[in-house]
Structure 1
Amino acid sequence: MESLANLECFVRSAETGSFSAAARLLALTPAAVSRNVAMLERNLGVRLFQRSTRKLSLTETGEHFLASIGGNLHALQAAIGAVTTERGEPAGVLRVSLSPSFGIGQILPLMPQWLARYPLIRPDWQFENRPVDLIAEGFDAAIGGGFALTPGVVSRTLAPAHLIAVASPAYLAGRPLPRQPEDLAGLDNIVLRASRTGRVRQTVLRNAAGLESAVQLNESMIFNDPVAMREAALLGLGVALLVVPDALPWLERGELVRLLPDWYVDLGVISLYYPSRTLMPAKTRAFIDFITEHFEREALARRFRAGPG
């Protein structure tokens, strides 16, 4: 079955004679509309539009295709938007993008419960450290931070994204504990190189009083993955700045120790992203409700917060 986005983009482009005009109606970018139509043509194996720099016109095949579905688009939207089985259960492939550390550590353990509740939804999850284009790449949802809120994308806050300084008891043995953020510069620091920019993140810590302290860390080790940073810290190789959910289980077991408990780095929030649709697919609504209920039940917004509040 073709995606609702592809079919909507085709019909609106045919009706308006322009990808740009269709994009305005659908709250998308012209590039996203063009990609969705191209995907529809590729999947069908036919050319639906004749394209030129000044004009967009239907091919004969495109005219027949539009005539067959154009008048029934609302019914088609309702059918796809409420995809369920005859027993009323959400069904279909659910494409989700998640960061590897948070996705594997926090969301993947929920899979048995998710599959028990929704056995007819097939997860197609991608774990990668990049903000995807939900609409252009065909994702139903994403969990992470720093996504651009392009037209047609909704963001729902799940928890704060706070970095805290941690190290193993073995590394700290015989060393004086840092009392101020600048004391971190005298320790072995395991730092993160951002995959998008190739730069090492600047460290600005803050406390409950609103004071901020920019620290120039001693870059003893540079990694591009937070999980590798945590493992290096567990091996006693130095101090790592990790988001709270990546460190919490090891802190609770005493395998890591939080340094400077009054200070943290504020990276914003961890959010659940999904395309805004008048008629949302049942599988996507089920996932949104499942994740938000889990965060509320386990009080994860509070547990993942490094400072007061």
Structure 2
Amino acid sequence: MQPLSHLESFLRSAESGSFSAAARQLGLTPAAVSKNVARLEAGLGLRLFQRSTRKLTLTEGGERLLQQISGPLGTLADAVAGAAEANRQPAGTLKVSMGQAFGREYVVPLLGEFLARYPGVVPDWHFDNRQVDLIGEGFDAAIGGGIQLTPGVVARELARIHVVAVAAPRYLAGRPAPAHPSELAAFDSIVRRSSPTGRLRSWTLRSAAGEEAAVEGRPRVIFSDPEAMCRAAMLGLGIALVPMPFALPGLQRGDLVRVLPGWYADSGPLSLYYPSKKLLPAKTRVFIDFVVERFRAQRFAERMQGACMAPA
């Protein structure tokens, strides 16, 4: 029978596509992981990977082995981890990815309470406005929207995020308030450029009654960052269409007001992503439960809705 360490090194390397990523997950050196896989190949008399300087590619035999062992090995590893942690307090480094502005505004304020509950956990939080490879980069969890689910990752929805039109009160002073999205063409627009595509974002707003209308503003400023768009709107530079997580702080302070209240666009879910293990490490499990609990207590999902006339 092959040693469990050899099989686990193979499994992690196959999932992440590199010995280095597998080594980070297992707490080994890349050389040790490579040696474990080589010993497994020698014991089986079978080549499992095609190796190149850039990545690992499974052979046909490697694909068969991965399908046969991934489920049973994952169950065994989870059972061992669960037994080891049954009588221990959650502990260890908790590596989480989240957006910069979102993390600062909504997650960092929860940190004090989380640390008081779980003093053995050390948050290692990465504030990145990008989609991370949860498994390949060794993250315990991630919070974000529009993240593509990869094998071995599941998502728990926290809220549907609505996009709303906002402006500074002084920008709207003395102007007739628009009553329909078509009237935004007469106003300066703070427009968002999509970082992945380089294109200007366009939105179709819908009313609480279900009417839909495309927005055609007059571009005055173009930014790739919604937080910067909100700041420009606060300066009175025009009307911005931004997701509610970015608009809400300014709306609550009175620095921004809703334009076309009741009209919004749905930009999809904001979710908590984590590995799809039956028995998660205690540090990851308590973090997931804590975030879900606190967001629910704060009525986060309701506050992200743009159909209401004013923020809760």
Q: TM-score if structure 1 supplies the norm length?
A: 0.79
Whole-Å Cα distance in 2 between the matches of residues 145 and 9 of structure 1?
Answer: 35
Aligned with residue 55 of structure 1, among 32, 47, 50: 47
Alignment RMSD, CA only?
Answer: 2.9
1:199 deviation in Å? 1.6
SS for the counterpart of 2:114 is helix
Which region of structure 1 is more displaced relative to structure 2, 73-82 or 282-291? 73-82
Amino acid across the alignment from 1:44:
A
Q: Equivalent residues in 2 for 1:146-161 (5 A)? A: 146-161=146-161
Q: Equivalent residues in 2 for 1:170-249 (5 A)? A: 170-249=170-249
- CA 1:41–1:171 in structure 2 vs 1: closer, same or farther (change >3 Å)? same
SS for the counterpart of 1:48 is helix
- CA 1:41–1:47 in structure 2 vs 1: closer, same or farther (change >3 Å)? farther
| Counterpart residue number, 1:291 | 291
1:80 deviation in Å? 3.6
| Counterpart residue number, 2:261 | 261
Q: Are the counterparts in 2 of residues 164 and 258 from structure 1 also a CA contact under 8 Å?
A: yes
Q: How many residues align?
A: 274
Amino acid across the alignment from 1:47:
K
Whole-Å Cα distance in 2 between the matches of residues 8 and 299 of structure 1?
Answer: 45
SS for the counterpart of 2:7 is helix
TM-superposition CA deviations, 1:42-78 (whole Å, max 9, x none)? 1637633348xx8238xxxxxxxxxxxxxx9977544
Whole-Å Cα distance in 2 between the matches of residues 296 and 178 of structure 1?
Answer: 34
Amino acid across the alignment from 2:248:
L
Amino acid across the alignment from 2:181:
P
Which region of structure 1 is more displaced relative to structure 2, 116-125 or 240-249? 240-249
Whole-Å Cα distance in 2 between the matches of residues 140 and 296 of structure 1?
Answer: 21
- CA 1:192–1:83 in structure 2 vs 1: closer, same or farther (change >3 Å)? farther
Q: Are the counterparts in 1 of residues 15 and 135 from structure 2 also a CA contact under 8 Å?
A: no
Which region of structure 1 is more displaced relative to structure 2, 287-296 or 210-219? 210-219
Q: Equivalent residues in 2 for 1:1-309 (5 A)? A: 10-11=6-7, 30=14, 32=16, 34-35=18-19, 36-37=21-22, 40-42=28-30, 44=32, 47-50=35-38, 55-56=47-48, 77-81=78-82, 84=85, 88-307=88-307
Q: Are the counterparts in 1 of residues 162 and 266 from structure 2 also a CA contact under 8 Å?
A: yes
Q: Are the counterparts in 2 of residues 163 and 267 from structure 1 also a CA contact under 8 Å?
A: yes
- CA 1:9–1:278 in structure 2 vs 1: closer, same or farther (change >3 Å)? farther
| Counterpart residue number, 1:60 | none
Q: Are the counterparts in 1 of residues 182 and 215 from structure 2 also a CA contact under 8 Å?
A: yes
Whole-Å Cα distance in 1 between the matches of residues 106 and 182 of structure 2?
Answer: 32
Unaligned 5+ runs, structure 2: 50-72
Amino acid across the alignment from 1:49:
V
SS for the counterpart of 1:119 is coil
Q: Are the counterparts in 2 of residues 185 and 218 from structure 1 also a CA contact under 8 Å?
A: yes
- CA 1:11–1:49 in structure 2 vs 1: closer, same or farther (change >3 Å)? closer
Amino acid across the alignment from 1:109:
P
Amino acid across the alignment from 1:32:
S
Whole-Å Cα distance in 2 between the matches of residues 220 and 9 of structure 1?
Answer: 59
Whole-Å Cα distance in 2 between the matches of residues 73 and 228 of structure 1?
Answer: 43
SS for the counterpart of 1:272 is strand
Whole-Å Cα distance in 2 between the matches of residues 91 and 83 of structure 1?
Answer: 12
1:85 deviation in Å? 9.7
- CA 1:75–1:148 in structure 2 vs 1: closer, same or farther (change >3 Å)? closer
Unaligned 5+ runs, structure 1: 1-6, 15-21, 24-28, 58-71
- CA 1:104–1:13 in structure 2 vs 1: closer, same or farther (change >3 Å)? closer
Whole-Å Cα distance in 2 between the matches of residues 209 and 274 of structure 1?
Answer: 36
Give the % identical residues.
Answer: 49
Whole-Å Cα distance in 1 between the matches of residues 34 and 208 of structure 2?
Answer: 60
1:186 deviation in Å? 1.6
TM-superposition CA deviations, 1:133-177 (whole Å, max 9, x none)? 211111111111101112211111111110110001111112221
